Structure 1
Amino acid sequence: MAISEDHPTHLDPRTVEEYFRLGVKTAFDLHTDPLVRMEIDPGHESIELTTPAAGSDPEVTSFERLTFNRFRRPTEEWFRLTIDARDMHYEAYVLVESVVDQLRAGASFRHAVSEALVSLKELLSSRSRLTEEKTLGLIGELLVLRHVIASSSERTAIESWLGPHAEEHDFGFPDFDAEVKTTKSEQRVHVIGSETQLEPSPGTPLHLISIQVTRAGTGAQGVTLPSLITDVRGMLDNARRTFDAALEGLGWRDADADLYQVRYQLRSTPRAYLVDDDFPAITSARLDAVIPNRSNVSSVSYRVNVTELEHSSIGAPLDDFCEVPE
């Protein structure tokens, strides 16, 4: 596939993602003099840029995601720049596009790569996205929030959503609290960030809501974080400002929506686990009982695998969100 020199085509984020979802390598001629070819490799989640060798090699050894080498074709030597595009497909494409723009202007390959890296650094410094862990965590909370809006009311949902307010638990309902944990792993392994996160409030049962997701590819059931936010917004009438303020407090910016292109779908039905005396939670009270000089332990983080634990029934409004025990 070739892109016309007279009418150069800029690929938008959605189109770049579509090429990665194809599952097969796709090559583009981006420039003819010198010949510059881009190849998108979904299998390795990489983008490769090749051009006939001219001048000195670019300096990319200090960049973890970039590799460079020379190779021979039958009649000449070529440059190959490979970009590891995992979780940053569009940013990798922007880097390639910037290199080609420099080459079109007459720059050497070494200078083109150098200038493109400076430009990309400036781009990324002004835009940042949530870590994958925070992205998955927010997706999980929004799945619960969406369900509560649909099954109860937007007022109940927004008032019960405590996560944006830095409370210990993500949701506080009249009859129980819920801590929502989301994982991509095949087992229900969740990261607990403090000794108070799974500590029930006095007189209020606490449930850990375990959500498993997996990458959806082009699956019809898949959602991105931006599409899920749009879904929830569309369900709100009076609480949109409150919802948007909560998202902003969590680090979300609408202007960065194109940075979140990965689609997820449920791997399994969510389950609820009652955090009782038999639940393997590390809490302040338990630490106080066994750790000498407990006050010198400043923070606790751990992983808990609930896969083999018996899940529990849970009340409204999550009774039809979680799997019912047999």
Structure 2
Amino acid sequence: MPARSKSEFLFDALVSERIESNNEHSMTTGVESEFGQIRCFHKPENGEIGLIIPCSQQQYERFKPDKKSSAIHLTRLLIGNDPQVRLSLREPRQAKVFYLFVDDLLSKLDEKPKNSPYAASMCLDNWRRFFQTSSDRGLTPEEEIGLLCELEVLRALLRNGETEAVERWVGPNLQHHDFEFADFSIECKATRSSTSLTISVHGAEQLIPTANKTLTLVVRKYQSDPDGSLSIPRLCEQIVAEGEISVAAFMEKVRLLGIDPWDPLQLDLFSNYNPLEALEFEVADGFPAVDLHDNDHRITNVQYSIDLAGASTIPGFKETPTYLV
């Protein structure tokens, strides 16, 4: 079952309520501002959902509505003597991103309930880019399984208590290795071949340890399957659900790859896979690699393949994998 955000449960419960009219209805989020409870609302007549944020008359008068994004609006409304600021989702296809945004906003408002309208405005500024239409070029099969492996390792790091794993995931930033920590690096490789265990290396430095760090090579074999248990959107949802991570930072890195797993219109771009073999090596003396002598940095575009068949006989083989099982 896919992971779901906290606010998704709230809005699902609200939308599924049985009501006898098309009038707007609402329910509490469990978070309070300095002027009352923050509520989520639903308008059955047009399907609009959003948040109601109570505010003071002074905050209401100073507040500047924000309609810069067509998908989401931040406006003000005076109902009787009750001033409020409203966050409204205008594009239902952006619901997945909206739920994650609301989770982040409610968390911030729960920690600092003062001047909630300003906090909502600042939070929207930080998230606005995720409500823009993204590229739909898709990934090649090789790029897709490579990213699957990186995401599996990222999930494992988070589950092992590496709280900086998202920040340390530097593959999307085109660094030499996929993960760079203070004292170790990780490089991820994947293959779909059913008859071999060959990986492709791109760049002279991909299998060279950084400074005095240890370098672990993680290799995963995948099998394409329409009913497979793994896909990029599923892994992204699971990572978001892991807990104390910066969701915005994670989404930003995924989008650097030119994809948007949270856009329902892009779901057909992703395939499903089953995970098969998982191997790990410590890349050190004796591990097969190309040794280049290029002090003047004249050699460019180095690419080669390594056959990892008979993995247990290769120097650096780890009997027990650390990151994948």
Unaligned runs of 5+ in 2: 1-134
Distance 1:195 1:278, change over 3 A: same
1:234 counterpart = 2:241? yes
- The letter of the residue matching 1:129 is G
Note the residue ranges of structure 1 that are not aligned, 5 or more in a row: 1-125
SS at match of 2:220: strand
1:162 has 2:170 as partner: yes
Pair 295,178 (structure 1): closer, same or farther in 2 beyond 3 Å: closer
How far is the alpha carbon of 1:165 from its aligned partner?
2.3
Out of 227, 231, 247, the position equivalent to 1:224 is 231
Q: Distance in 2 between matches of 1:273 and 1:216?
A: 27
Describe how 1:111-126 pairs up with structure 2 within 5 A: none
Which position in structure 2 is the counterpart of 1:145? Answer: 154
Which amino acid is the alignment partner of residue 280 of structure 2?
A
In the alignment, does 2:264 pair up with 1:251? no
Q: Give the CA deviation at 1:238.
A: 4.1
* Distance (whole Å) between structure 1 residues aligned to residue 311 and residue 139 of structure 2: 31
Q: Please give the alpha-carbon distance, in whole angstroms, between the structure 1 residues aligned to 2:151 and 2:179.
A: 11
User: Who is 1:95 aligned against?
Assistant: none
Q: TM (normalized to structure 2)?
A: 0.52
Matched, 1:287 2:287: no
User: Given that residues 213 and 267 in structure 1 are in contact (C-alpha distance below 8 angstroms), is that contact kept between their aligned partners in structure 2?
Assistant: yes
**Alpha-carbon distance, 1:309 to partner:** 3.3
> How large is the Cα RMSD of the aligned pairs?
2.5
Q: 2:207 aligns with which of 177, 188, 198?
A: 198
Q: Check 1:249–1:314 CA distance in 2 against 1; reply closer, same or farther (3 A cut).
A: farther
State, as a whole percentage, how many aligned pairs show the same letter: 25
Deviations 1:9-32 (A, max 9, x none): xxxxxxxxxxxxxxxxxxxxxxxx
Match of 1:181 in 2: 189
Match of 1:304 in 2: 306
Map of 1:1-12 to 2, 5 A cutoff?
none
Letter matched to residue 239 of structure 1: S
Residue of structure 2 equivalent to 1:31: none
Deviation sequence 1:282-309 (CA, Å, 0-9, x none): 2xxx2217xxx97543211111111223
Match status 1:272 vs 2:280: yes
**Deviation (angstroms), 1:247:** 0.7
SS across alignment from 2:292: helix
Q: CA-to-partner distance for each residue in 1:145-174, whole Å, 9 max, x for gaps?
A: 111111214x23213212122211111234
CA contact (8 A) 2:190 2:221 kept: yes
Change (3 A) 1:297 1:236: same
Shift of 1:213: 0.8
2:293 aligns to what SS in structure 1?
Answer: helix
Q: Which residue identity lines up with residue 132 of structure 1 in the other structure?
A: P
**How far apart, in 2, do the equivalents of 1:136 and 1:280 lie?**
23
SS of the residue 1:203 aligns to = coil
Instruction: Indicate the SS of the match to 2:236.
Output: helix
Measured after TM superposition, the shift of residue 193 of structure 1 is 0.8
What are the Cα deviations for residues 181-229 of structure 1, in whole angstroms up to 9, with x where unaligned? 011113321111111111111211212111111123325xx12211111
Residue identity in the other structure for 1:142? L
How many equivalent pairs are there? Answer: 185
Higher relative contact order (Cα pairs below 8 Å, separated by 6+ residues): 2
Q: How does 1:39-118 map to 2 (within 5 A)?
A: none
Contact 2:146–2:189 at 8 Å: present in 1 too?
Answer: yes
Q: Is the Cα–Cα contact under 8 Å of residues 287 and 294 in structure 1 kept in the other structure?
A: no
Secondary structure of residue in 2 paired with 1:130: coil
